[in-house]
């Protein structure tokens, strides 16, 4: 199982990761090796097997629809790189 350089670039773009050419080449080799290793799972017949997305039995978790005290706006903004008033500041997103 070999990943092409274009596939590596496509995955990096989906994951929003800017990679150097050297990183792309290294990940191409390493991810290909790892994918080749994990591909052994495909030899198992699982047609009749359900997936285990969680080990806990699926159930609804509900709580009463009441306002509760949470963190203050100051607490929430304290770690932000760029803020204005009570908001996070970002470059304009819409033209």
Cα–Cα distance measured from residue 79 to residue 71, given in angstroms and rounded to the nearest whole number: 13
Q: Which of residues 13-52 bind another protein (CB under 8 A)?
A: 14-19, 23, 27, 30-31, 33-35, 37-42, 44, 46, 49-52
In the complex, minimum distance from the CB of residue 18 to another protein, in angstroms, rounded to a whole number: 3
Q: How many residues bind another protein (CB under 8 A)?
A: 48
32 CB-contact burial (10 Å; exposed 0-12 / middle 13-18 / buried 19+): middle
Q: Which residues contact 83 (CB under 8 A, 6 or more apart)?
A: 77, 89
Give how far Cα 9 sits from Cα of 21, 38, 83, Å.
Answer: 10, 21, 32
Tell me whether residue 46 or residue 86 sits nearer to another protein (CB atom): 46
Q: Which of residues 48-67 bind another protein (CB under 8 A)?
A: 49-56, 61, 63
| Longest Cα separation, the chain | 57
Site of interaction with another protein (CB under 8 A): 3, 7-8, 11-12, 14-19, 23, 27, 30-31, 33-35, 37-42, 44, 46, 49-56, 61, 63, 71, 75-76, 78-82, 88, 90-91, 93
């Amino acid at each position: 199982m070999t990943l092409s350089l274009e596939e590596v670039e496509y995955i990096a773009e989906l994951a929003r990761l800017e990679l150097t050419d050297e990183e792309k080449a290294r990940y191409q080799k390493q991810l290909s090796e790892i994918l080749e290793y994990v591909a052994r799972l495909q030899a198992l017949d699982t047609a009749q097997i359900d997936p285990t997305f969680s080990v806990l039995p699926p159930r609804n978790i509900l709580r009463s629809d009441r306002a509760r005290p949470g963190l203050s706006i100051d607490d929430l903004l304290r770690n932000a790189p760029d803020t204005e008033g009570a908001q996070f500041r970002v470059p304009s997103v819409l033209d």
